[in-house]
Amino acid sequence: MSKDNIITQDFSEEMKNSYRDYAVSVIIARALPDIRDGLKPVQRRVLYAMDELSLAPEKPHRKSARIVGDTMGKYHPHGDSSIYEALVHMTEDYSLSLPLVDGHGNFGSIDGDSAAAMRYTEARLSPAAMASLKDLDMGLVEFAPNFDESEKEPLVLPATLPNLLINGTTGIAVGMATNIPTHNPGEVIDGVISYMKNPNITTEELMEDIKGPDFPTGGIIINAEEIKNIYETGEGKLRVRGKVEFEKSDGGRMNIVITEIPFTASGRKQKLYESLISLEKDKVFDEIYDVRDESSKEGIRLVVEVKKGRDYENLLNGLYQKSGLEDTYGVNLLAVKDKQPVTFNLKGMIKEFVEFQEEIYTKKYQYMLDKAEKRHEVVEGLIKAVDVIDLIIEILRGSKSVAQAKKCLTEGDISDIAFKSEESAIEAKTLNFTVPQAEAILQMQLSKLIGLELLKLHQENDNLLKNIAEYNLYLNSKKALHRAIKSKLKEYKKTFNRERRTELISVSGESYVEKIVEEELVVLIDKFGYVKSVDQNMFEKMTEEQRAEYKTIIPIMNTDMLCLFTTNANMYKIKMSLIPKGRLRDKGVLIHSLCKIGNEEAVLYIPMEELFESQLLFVTKQGYVKRVSGVEFESTRNQLQSSKLDGDDTIIYIKALSTEEILSESMKLALLTDSNYALIYSVNMINEYKKTSRGVTGIKLSKGDSVKHAQVIAPDDKKFNTDSKDIMVSRFKEGKRADKGKKIRV
C-alpha cells in the first residue's frame, strides 16, 4: 500500500464522529417514535410487513416466525429478538390502550411471564392498526429504499388515528429518553376535534376533553393537580397507585384487596406480589396476617389479609410507602420531528397530528380527484361514442389497423379508411376523442350498447361529476377538509371508545404510623446462636430442663429492641419484629443473620428500655474499667461503637446496674487475672465516663498478665464463677481500685 492511500485521522476526532453517528442512529432509527404516526421504526416495519402478508383483522393468523423473518429479511436487519419483542409488545392490552397486533397463543401476561417462542405463536393486524395502514397505495407517504435497496419501505405510515397519545410509548436513546403515557381513545379524539375547531385553544380547555393519562391497568393518579403543568411543559412526574377495596375475612380479620395495579407494575405484577410477600416474611408490618394472589381471567385480585383488630387503613398507607403499590411515573413527551428529537407539550402533539392529517388527506383527495377525472374522461367518451356508434363501427370496419382507427378517432384522420358514404367520411373528420377515450372505445364490448348498460354509464358519469366537485371542495377549502377529518375521527370514536379506567384525584400521601399491640415476650438464645421469641404464657409452661437448653433468656416487650454488646466494643440493635415468634420446637434463626455481628462474641444482651434506665459496667482484658450511662447509646443507627480499645484489648465483661446498685457500698466488682491475682472492691469506686473513652485501670497487672474473669458480687453472693470452677469470694483481696490483688490458688 502506498503512502498516498493512507488517510491520517486524529483518533479523538474519529471517536467523536463515530459516536455521534451512533447516537443519531439510536435516536432516530431505533428508540424514539415519530410524532406523526407514533411508531418506532421497528414497529412500523413489523406492521408494514404484516400488511404486505395481507394479515388483515378478518384474515387467519400467521406464524410469528414468518412475520419476524419477513421484517428482518426485508426491512429491519437488527436481529430477530428485537423484532419479536416489538411484535409481542404490540399485542399487550395491559400496555397499550389499543393493541396494534392481534396475538394468538402465549404472548406473555401482566404477571411478567415471557411470550412463547415465535415458532409457537401466531398474529395478525388489529382494527386499530388498519387505521395506520389504510390507503398506503395512494401515495400518501414517502417511500425509501430498504437497507440493501431491494425493497421500498414507508418512512411513516398514513396514520389517521392519534396513536402516539392513545398508546403512548417508552424508549431510551443516547442522552435522552421518552416516556409518553397512554390516554383514553375517545378523550384524545375529542381533544383533536376541539383543537381543529379552535387552534388557539388553551391547555386548560383541552383538558376538558383530555382529562389526563388513562392507563390500561386502571389505578389512580393521586397528583392530578400536576397534570396541567405536565401537559404545558411536556415533562413531569405522576404518582400512580393501585386501586384497592376492603372486605371482611374469616375470624374477624379484614382483607385489603388490590383490584387494579399501577401502570408501572404492568407486566411485572408478580414482582409486586413478591414485594408484598417479603413485607410479611420480613415482619416489616406486624399487621399482615397473610398475602395471597387470587387473580384469574376475571381480573386482578391480590389479597393482603390483616390481623384482627389492626388498623387496615394505616397498613394500606404503609403498603403505599414500602411496596410497588404506589410508584412514580416520569412523563417525557419526546418524539422525532423532521429527524430531530423534540419535547412537545400536549397542544404541540395534537397540532403536529392535525397538520399531518391535513397533509395525507390532501394527498388522498388529490389522488382520488385525479383518478375520478381520468375515469370521467373515459366515461364521457363512451357516452359520446354511443351517440355515433354506427360511424365508429364503419371506421373500424374500414380501417386496416388499430392504430389507423385510433388516429381517426383522435385526430379525424381518414386516410386509407374505406367508408360506405361520403357523408360518413365528412363526419369522421370531425371526431376528436382523447387518447384514453379512444383506447376505451376500441376496447368497449358490444354489451355496453344495451339500454341498461347505457343507463349505468350515465349514472356513473353523474356520480363522477359529483365526486369531482366534492374532492375539489376538500382541496380548495380547509374548513371542508377539516370536516372530513373530523368525520373519520368520529367514526373511530364509535369503534374504539371505552370508559375511562384511571381515576384522577389530588391527595397528599399519608404516612404509615406503626401501631403494635404491646405483648410480653421472652427471647431465647441457644448455645449455637439461634434466636427466637415466645410469649410469656408459653415460657411459663417450660420445664427447667427445657430452659436449660438456652444459654440466654431475656424478658422483653415486642415493641422494644434487643441490644447486644460484643468483645470488639460494638453494640448492635435488633428490632423485635425481626426475631421470629414461634413455638418451643421451632429452631429460630441465627442471630448473625439479623445484624452484622460477624465473628464477634456477644458479651451482653439487654432490652433497649432496660439499657436506657441502667448504667453499664465495662471490664477489658487489659484491666480497664468504667461506667457508662445507657442514655449514651440512644441513636437511630443500628450499630454503634460501645467503647474505646487499645491495641489487641477486648471487652470480657459488661454488667447493667441500677442507680441503687451503683450507690450501694455492698455491690462489688471482683476481678481474676491469668496469673490468679484476685481483687475485689466497691462498684462506686468506678467513675462514669463517655462511651468513647477507654476508662481507668481497674487492677494493677504484671507484664504479660491480663484479666480473664470479672463479676459483680452482690451482698449475698459467696462464690465467684469461672469457666472451670467456683471460687469463694472470701479468698479475694478486698482493696482499692488499681491494687495488684492477692495471689490465690485456683
- Tens digits of residue pLDDT in 7-46: 777 777 667 666 566 555 656 666 789 999 999 999 999 9
β pairing state of 615-620 and 651-657: antiparallel
Count H helices, E strands: the chain?
22, 36
Segment 150-169, tens digit of pLDDT: 999 999 999 999 999 999 99
- Residues forming beta bridges with residue 726, ordered by sequence position: 721
- At 396, is the pLDDT very low, low, confident or very high (cuts 50, 70, 90)? confident
Task: Provide the angle, in degrees to the nearest 10, between the axes of the packed helices 41-52 and 80-89.
Answer: 80
pLDDT at 173: 77
Q: Find which of 283-297, 584-598, 643-657 is predicted with most confidence, using mean pLDDT.
A: 643-657
Mean pLDDT to the nearest integer, 263-275:
93
Confidence of residue 394 (pLDDT cuts 50, 70, 90): confident
Residues paired with 341 in a beta bridge:
336
Which pLDDT tens digit goes with each residue over 622-679? 999 999 999 999 888 888 999 999 888 999 999 999 988 888 888 999 999 999 999 9
Alpha helices by DSSP H, listed for 561-669, are 608-612, 659-663
Cell numbers for 459: 349514472
**Among 409, 410, 379, 366, which residue's Cα sits nearest to residue 391?**
409
Query: What is the dihedral angle through the alpha carbons of 208, 213, 219, 220, rounded to the nearest 10 degrees?
Result: -60
Report the pLDDT averaged over residues 402-419. 87
* Lowest pLDDT segment from 73-77, 190-194, 579-583: 579-583
- Cβ burial of 505 (10 Å; 0-12, 13-18, 19+) is exposed
**pLDDT score at 586:** 84
Please give the domain boundaries of the chain with CATH numbers for all domains: 16-175 (3.90.199.10), 243-324 (3.30.1360.40), 366-475 (1.10.268.10), 520-743 (2.120.10.90)
The beta strands (E) that lie in 621-732 are given as 624-629, 639-641, 651-657, 668-673, 677-682, 696-697, 707-713, 719-721, 726-728
Mean pLDDT, residues 679-684: 93
Mean pLDDT, residues 279-290: 85
The arithmetic mean of pLDDT across residues 281-291, rounded, is 85
d(CA 250, CA 246): 13
Question: Which pairs count as long-range contacts for 646-651, CB under 8 Å and 24+ apart, including other chains?
Answer: 646/622, 646/694, 647/622, 649/620, 649/621, 649/622, 649/624, 650/567, 650/568, 650/569, 650/620, 650/621, 651/565, 651/566, 651/567, 651/568, 651/569, 651/603, 651/618, 651/619, 651/620, 651/621
Residue 509 has pLDDT above 70, yes or no: no
Q: How confident is the model at residue 69 (pLDDT cuts 50, 70, 90)?
A: very high
Please confirm, yes or no, whether 320 is among the known catalytic residues: no
What are the φ and ψ backbone dihedral angles of 103, each rounded to 5 degrees? -90, 145
Q: What is the pLDDT of residue 172?
A: 83
Q: Is the pLDDT of residue 555 over 70?
A: yes
Sign of CA dihedral 386, 391, 394, 395: negative
**Residue 673 CB neighbour total at 10 angstroms:** 22
pLDDT at 251 over 60: yes
pLDDT at residue number 370? 94
| Mean of pLDDT over the chain | 90
Note the pLDDT tens digit of each residue in 92-122. 999 999 999 999 999 999 999 999 999 999 9
pTM above 0.85, yes or no: no
**Mean pLDDT, to the nearest integer, of 694-721?**
92
Distance CA 389, CA 409 (A): 12
pLDDT at 145 over 90: yes
> Who wins on pLDDT, 593 or 623?
623
pLDDT tens for each residue of 169-210: 998 877 788 999 999 999 999 999 999 999 999 999 999 999
Instruction: Provide the grid cell at 522.
Output: 421472652
How far apart are the C-alpha atoms of 721 and 732, rounded to whole Å?
A: 13
Considering Cα of 644, then 645, then 651, then 653, what sign does the dihedral take?
Answer: negative
Q: Decide which of 421 and 50 is more confident.
A: 50
DSSP state of 711: E
Report the pLDDT value the prediction gives residue 513, as an integer from 0 to 100: 66
Choosing from 22, 75, 84, 120, the catalytic residue is 120
Percent of the chain whose pLDDT exceeds 70: 95
- Helix (H) or strand (E) holding 374, with range, is helix 346-387
